[in-house]
Amino acid sequence: MMEIIRDDLRNIAIIAHVDHGKTTLVDSMLKQSGIFRKNQIIAERIMDSHDIERERGITILAKNTAIYYGNVKINIVDTPGHADFGGEVERVLKMVDGVLLLVDAFEGPMPQTKFVLKKALELNLPTIVCINKIDRPEARPEEVLDEVLDLFIELGGDEKYLESPFVFTSSKEGTATLDLNVKKDNLEDLFQTIIKYIPAPNVNIDEPLQLLISTIDYNDYVGRIGIGKIERGKIKTNQEAIIVNENKKDEIKRVKITNIYEFEGLNRKEVKESKAGSIIAVTGVEGIHIGDTICDVDAPEPLPFVKISEPTIAMTFSVNDSPFAGKEGKYMTSRQLRNRLFKEMQTDVSLKVEETSSTDAFKVSGRGELHLSVLIENMRREGYEFQVSKPEVLYKYENGKRLEPMEMVTVDVAESYIGIVIEKLGMRKGELISMSESNGGYHRLIFSVPARGLIGYRGEFMTDTKGNGILNSVFDGYGAYKGDIVTRKEGSLIAYETGEATAYGLYSAQDRGELFITPGTKVYKGMVIGSNPKGMDIEINVCKKKHQTNIRAAGSDEALRLAPPRQLSLEEALEFIEDDELIEVTPTSFRIRKKILDSNKRHKSKK
């Protein structure tokens, strides 16, 4: 069997920490490779096609694109930097022959960089290091270069990694240079380095087909779309093929390949056939899953696949049964909720959805708080209305011992905030592992913290450090149970009756604590409308009106002064609620409520 080297092709993945300019660099590469017409109007961060990705400035889904440099096609996969989406990263690396490691010229290597780079080294992938944002006023590229080399040594990389090429780039300006003293005005040096250092796929085209599916896309017209790299052989449209999986070798499905697409720029271009080494998308493969191999009918040989990281956090999603149910959303039945959750599972491998004893509730498990809050936010925008419970971590039991998921947390803060961070994480059973002075007067603290201790801490951290701290966490295996953590100290202020909140009612309620609502907000009995610092639940009538009298006293008609309410984001609400509370999620609002709305029944259940 003859192996050939496809010199017209390179497959690379871009890996980096959140916010180091990965998606922006891909934009510049696309613009300079002549994929777009001269006068075409292009959005910023083209690759982040998803609304939430654009708003939060993070990449959640791995995406594929391709550019041409001369007559070489470079397939680029943009990977997420958040550890919550680590399941995406591992799979993507299976499709490529090398990685582009992007590091911020000021921040240097960060925990997520380390997490993703470790995966790349395990697969022995050649690496090009891009030191990005060299145009930042406080950039320190030479020091960061040394930090990256230290990282290679720390992760046990081969000697060849210490000789990896370094390219200095500014993704915003679209420039790259191999020598900091020579200023360039394009990405030519980066393109040439990719062609030179990333190996061309070495493949067998005459052997039977093997295509490993690494990502699944879904489209209402064609159903499931499998995306992956052809490991050997060729694939043609209308070809008969079979689907097999390394873990379930006995299950074999016959399929017919309807369409084949290759990537070009941001589009998918339909082709009649494609050969080994190419990254493609195929349709007509119903029932395909991530990790399946599409094989030749006569040679069912599945390829091994990355083990997907297990979920660490679970919540219950249930049908909305509040008095306001059905007023704001389009989809609210248990059947619609069930279909939507199971559909999400088809494209998101790290998510797990299970039925519960009630037909109206489903247990949804994911990689972290961010992972689940992005799903809630997506469903809300699509018009779903439902309720979610407080997130809880998933424990494991070994030899009669309870183990819990741990996170490695890296915090960068100014010296004046070190005390409060250590104190707060200590209360959440965090253990300080190391502390060092990093650049620019910042200190880097590394903690080992139980995953449950981090639920809702991010918001508090931002307040404590006045928005100047940086906090990152990476899943760090399971450890022995660390004991109980005291979470919220506040009690809830609960609406006593259904109606519309009045300024008069809220004015007398605000002496009891902090309010979450404004005058005119519709409330129902059992809804949580504020927090009480004394730690007790108090029922308050916020709908009462002022009695009219015919005696006019001077000053009685002055406006009632209300303190501005605390607007909770979804993450803050998830952190705030207790076990006997739920969040009602609709396309237009979040409401916190007691599970049992009636106060008498609530007191009985507590006893």
Query: Residues annotated in the binding site, as ranges?
Result: 19-24, 132-135
Region label for 265, one of left (φ > 0), alpha (ψ between -120 and 50) or beta (otherwise): left
Residue 180, both tokens = 């900091």
Distance CA 378, CA 382 (A): 6
AA letter at 275: K
Residues 6+ apart with CB under 8 A from 142: 180
Distances (CA, A) of 3 to 98, 231, 368, 386: 19, 12, 43, 55
AA letter at 112: Q
Residues 6+ apart with CB under 8 A from 494: 526, 527, 528, 529, 537, 538, 539, 540, 594, 599
Residue that is written with structure tokens 């250590």 in the block: 422
DSSP code string of 447-485: EEEEHHHHTTHHHHHHHHTTT--EEEEEEEEEEE-----
Q: For 195-332, where are the E strands, in sequence order? A: 202-204, 210-219, 223-232, 234-236, 240-245, 248-256, 259-264, 267-271, 273-275, 279-283, 292-295, 313-319
Distance CA 474, CA 555 (A): 58
Is the CB of residue 198 less than 8 Å from the CB of residue 283?
Answer: no
Residue that is written with structure tokens 């004991």 in the block: 483
AA letter at 152: F
Is the CB of residue 356 less than 8 Å from the CB of residue 409?
Answer: no
Distance CA 289, CA 302 (A): 13
Radius of gyration of the chain (CA): 27
| Sheet bearing 210-219, strands edge to edge | 248-256, 240-245, 292-295, 210-219, 223-232, 279-283, 259-264, 267-271
Residues 6+ apart with CB under 8 A from 473: 83, 111, 368, 407, 408, 409, 410, 449, 454
**Phi, psi dihedral angles at 344 (to 5 degrees):** -65, -35
Burial degree of 110 (CB within 10 A; 0-12, 13-18, 19+): buried
AA letter at 79: T
Binding-site positions for GTP read 19-24, 132-135
Nearest to 118 by CA among 432, 507, 474: 474
Helix (H) or strand (E) holding 499: strand 499-500
**Phi, psi dihedral angles at 575 (to 5 degrees):** -75, -35
Residue 445, both tokens = 């603290």
Q: Nearest-5° angle of CA 369, CA 15, CA 445?
A: 55
